[in-house]
Amino acid sequence: MKRTRCDVLVKNIGQLLTVASRNGPLTNPDRHSLGIMEHTCISIKDGKIKDIGGDAGRIEAGTVVDAYGCLVLPGFIDAHTHAIFGGSREMEFSMRVKGKDYLTIMEEGGGIRATVSATRKASKDELFDGAIRRLNRMVSWGTTTCEVKSGYGLSTKDEIKTLEVAQMLQREHCVDVVPTFLGAHEIPEEYEKDKSSYIAVLANEMIPQVAERKLARFCDVFCEQGLFTKDESEQILKEGARQGMAAKVHADEFSNSGGSEIADRVGAVTCDHLLYTEEEGLASMKRAGTIAVLLPGANLYLMKKKKPPVERMRALQIPIAIASDFNPGSSPVMAMPVIMSLACLLYGVTVEEAIAGATLNAAYAVQEQDRIGSIETGKDADIIVTDVKHYEELPYWFAQNCIRSVLKAGRIVVDSIKGGDLN
Ligand SMILES: [Zn+2]
């Protein structure tokens, strides 16, 4: 009887979601799109998926992970976070609950500028220590890859410092970190009355230095009323693209800012938020093949009722990803299963859209679709083993962690049976 060998075997899988797709990101995913297999196993060799299925009794493995008949799926990819920052903003939560608006909170020393000031004061080690604790929590909720933006430094030195911390995290932590340069997150106080000079610093100083040192894969802009206009955003993103950084846009969060309308002109990989996006913006995203990244955590914490045009995205077959937007002000949520629940409950995203949006479509959102996002032969063995039987349970059990084990490139990094995370 022929026996095969592998490094790690995940056996007794009750329901496996492969989320494999031959035709790019999933649009209008349904149950069928999730690539469900039942009563199966996964063999892993050299950190990659070697085989799916087969007789587990005939497979020899150095390590065996028993799924006890439960649900197994690809590791989550959080395609939009601001996980590196100094200071804390819990006081603002208390103020917002009491009804204070954004401007009042700013006047009382809160808001993004409080984080900018604390981030500028923090050393690299301090920023690293804070971020690594956040990544530990993220992985315990199943995140195996995480996009991280700069944008709380807003000076050449402090933006570079933040991106160097992202590099340290990539070296030291099991979660893969995809760095994005977001110098155009806000206009720093010292340039308040002279935005054009700040844009010149972005274009002539920050982007060239970040690009030369290969500190970021993407360039992002906060295109919004009172921040960067549509034309300014286009200028910054084109400069980023010219220097090798693909474009992402914070678009249409508080108004129809035009952020999505420039998608085709800058070749945007993603447009994110999209609460106020209208037909012109959607058409531009469709032409550019842009992924819509929806961020319902910010709706919850800002107590906003506005929803993105999910129905129109479906009609136009624009692929949807979901992400945490984890940040200290408007979305202190880092658990992707919680984000899945919120996407379903607040935006009317289907459970299947939420799962594709946190796995395969999110892989496209960080341009890592050839390596991660689905469980297919040859891809990295980034795998979540849960303690539930059916995929619908993931968003259903709101804020209850159903993740039992997490494998990152075939290595067990979370094992809740043995207790705690092992990264
Ligand atoms: Zn953001």
98-107, 219-228, 233-242: lowest mean pLDDT where?
A: 98-107
Distance between CA atoms of 164 and 332, rounded to whole angstroms? 23
Is the per-residue pLDDT at 416 higher than 90?
no
Q: What pLDDT shows up at residue 102? A: 78
- Residue range 307-315: mean pLDDT, rounded: 98
Largest CA distance in the chain: 77
CA 85–ligand 1 middle distance (angstroms): 13
422 band by pLDDT with thresholds 50, 70 and 90: very low
Which residues, including other chains, have CB under 8 Å from residue 394's CB and lie 6 or more apart?
71, 337, 340, 351, 355, 386, 388, 402
Per-residue pLDDT tens digits for 200-228: 999 999 999 999 999 999 999 999 999 99
- Residue range 179-190: mean pLDDT, rounded: 97
Position with higher pLDDT, 325 vs 1 = 325
Is the per-residue pLDDT at 120 higher than 70?
yes
Is the per-residue pLDDT at 260 higher than 70?
yes
Per-residue pLDDT tens digits for 29-80: 999 999 999 999 999 999 999 999 989 999 999 999 999 999 999 999 999 9
313 band by pLDDT with thresholds 50, 70 and 90: very high
Is the per-residue pLDDT at 180 higher than 60?
yes
CA 16–ligand 1 middle distance (angstroms): 32
CA 150–ligand 1 middle distance (angstroms): 10
Cβ neighbour number for residue 196 with a 10 Å cutoff: 8
- Residue range 135-152: mean pLDDT, rounded: 98
- 147 closest CA partner among 383, 381, 373, 412: 373
Query: Is the distance from CB of 262 to CB of 238 less than 8 angstroms?
Result: no
CA 300–ligand 1 middle distance (angstroms): 14
Distance between CA atoms of 262 and 133, rounded to whole angstroms? 36
CA 182–ligand 1 middle distance (angstroms): 9
Judging by beta carbons within 10 Å of its beta carbon (0-12, 13-18, 19+), is residue 390 exposed, middle or buried? middle
Is the per-residue pLDDT at 421 higher than 50?
no
CA 111–ligand 1 middle distance (angstroms): 14
CA 337–ligand 1 middle distance (angstroms): 19
φ, ψ of residue 148 in degrees (nearest 5): -130, 130
- Residue range 359-376: mean pLDDT, rounded: 98
Strands 383-386 and 403-408: antiparallel
CA 186–ligand 1 middle distance (angstroms): 11
Is the per-residue pLDDT at 417 higher than 90?
no
Which ranges of 202-229 does DSSP label H, i.e. alpha helix?
207-212
Q: What pLDDT shows up at residue 423? A: 44
Which residues, including other chains, have CB under 8 Å from residue 411's CB and lie 6 or more apart?
47, 174
CA 379–ligand 1 middle distance (angstroms): 28
CA 48–ligand 1 middle distance (angstroms): 32
pTM score, whole prediction: 0.97
Query: Percentage of residues in the chain with pLDDT exceeding 90?
Result: 93
- Residue range 181-208: mean pLDDT, rounded: 97
The per-residue DSSP string of 291-306 comes to EEEE-HHHHHHHT---
CA 285–ligand 1 middle distance (angstroms): 18
φ, ψ of residue 71 in degrees (nearest 5): -75, 135
Averaged pLDDT score across all residues of the chain: 96
Distance between CA atoms of 303 and 310, rounded to whole angstroms? 19
Query: Is the distance from CB of 288 to CB of 248 less than 8 angstroms?
Result: no
Is the per-residue pLDDT at 112 higher than 80?
yes
Q: What pLDDT shows up at residue 109? A: 85
CA 330–ligand 1 middle distance (angstroms): 9
CA 395–ligand 1 middle distance (angstroms): 22
- Residue range 255-282: mean pLDDT, rounded: 98
- 36 closest CA partner among 51, 14, 54, 16: 16
- Residue range 153-158: mean pLDDT, rounded: 98
CA 273–ligand 1 middle distance (angstroms): 8
- Residue range 403-421: mean pLDDT, rounded: 84
Q: What pLDDT shows up at residue 1? A: 63
CA 384–ligand 1 middle distance (angstroms): 26
346 band by pLDDT with thresholds 50, 70 and 90: very high
CA 176–ligand 1 middle distance (angstroms): 19
CA 325–ligand 1 middle distance (angstroms): 5
Is the per-residue pLDDT at 140 higher than 60?
yes
Q: What pLDDT shows up at residue 418? A: 57
Distance between CA atoms of 103 and 95, rounded to whole angstroms? 12
| 281 token code pair | 């913006």
Q: What pLDDT shows up at residue 420? A: 47
CA 183–ligand 1 middle distance (angstroms): 12
- Residue range 358-377: mean pLDDT, rounded: 98
CA 42–ligand 1 middle distance (angstroms): 35
Is the per-residue pLDDT at 337 higher than 60?
yes
Q: What pLDDT shows up at residue 37? A: 98
CA 82–ligand 1 middle distance (angstroms): 6
φ, ψ of residue 378 in degrees (nearest 5): 95, -20
Structural element, H or E, at residue 207 = helix 207-212
